[in-house]
Amino acid sequence: MPRSTELDLRCYFVTGSGEPQQIVDTARAAAMGGAGMIQVRSKPISARGLYELTARVTAEVHAVAPEAKVLVDDRVDVAAALINEGHHVHGVHIGQDDLPVPSARALLGPDAVIGLTTGTLELIEAANQHAEVLDYVGCGPFRATPTKDSGRTPLGLQGFAPIVAECAVPVVAIGDVTKDDAADLAAVGVDGLAIVRGIMHAQDPEEYVRSVIAGFEAGRVR
């Protein structure tokens, strides 16, 4: 049986590169706006740098939105260290070249949140084999993005319907997604939107997140 963890994936903020204080401030604002998931990613970054940045982010996020989930990008070891030390870190988002999902689950335990990057039907079929220990998949790119070159062909709006139909766990769209895409992507059945640049570069990240959630909710009822 797939995991039944209830996650608010509607607006999933992935931190981008920048000065640590800007990242921390933006994460706090995003959480205040209602972002249910915040993934700490700031490449290139050392394990120590990621550890320290995540500790700062999670303290600020927990102060304003205790229900929000903070995940570490890629590094299961960093996530495990922070969780073991009592920080309000909830899990990890891993890619295809990181630890296998069952190994990450074994290290982090039954309560951690684990997400996996995908973007093709073949990768979705492989992810389905671990549905009992996987919480969601990030799927993309929606469109080409300078933030991360996955080497996969952009899915576009039409590419998500078959993936949503096939996937045994919730699907989060990623890859140059903006608030203007929220309603359309929600209408095709994805469970959430992962956004990097739109939130990182927003003059008012809190309001930007609110707009994403409003658009997503509007798309759900089409």
75 in any annotated domain = yes
Torsion, Cα of 182, 185, 191, 195 (10° steps): -50
> With pLDDT > 90 as the criterion, what percentage of the chain qualifies?
91
190 in a structural domain: yes
pLDDT of 14 higher than 70: yes
Residue 82 within any structural domain of the chain: yes
Q: What integer is the mean pLDDT of 51-80?
A: 98
pTM of the model: 0.96
- Rounded CA-CA distance 200/178 in Å is 11
CATH code of 122's domain: 3.20.20.70
Asked whether the beta carbons of 36 and 7 are under 8 A apart, the reply is: yes
Average pLDDT over the chain reads 95
Report the pLDDT averaged over residues 60-75.
98
**Does 6 map to a domain?**
no
Residue 144: pLDDT over 60: yes
Number of domains in the chain: 1
Query: What pLDDT shows up at residue 31?
Result: 98
User: Does pLDDT of 89 surpass 70?
Assistant: yes
Residue 4, in any domain of the structure: no
Going by the DSSP 8-state scheme, the letter that residue 122 receives in this structure is: H
Kindly tell me if the per-residue pLDDT of 15 is higher than 60: yes
Please state, in angstroms and as integers, the Cα–Cα distance from residue 131 to each residue in 126, 139, 204, following that order: 9, 15, 36
Q: What is the band of 3 on the pLDDT scale with cuts at 50, 70, 90?
A: low
Which pLDDT belongs to residue 149? 62
pLDDT tens across 172-210, in order? 999 999 999 999 999 999 999 999 999 999 999 999 999
Which structural domain, as residue segments, surrounds residue 148?
A: 11-220
Return the pLDDT at 222: 74
Please, are residues 172 and 142 in contact by the beta-carbon 8 Å criterion?
no
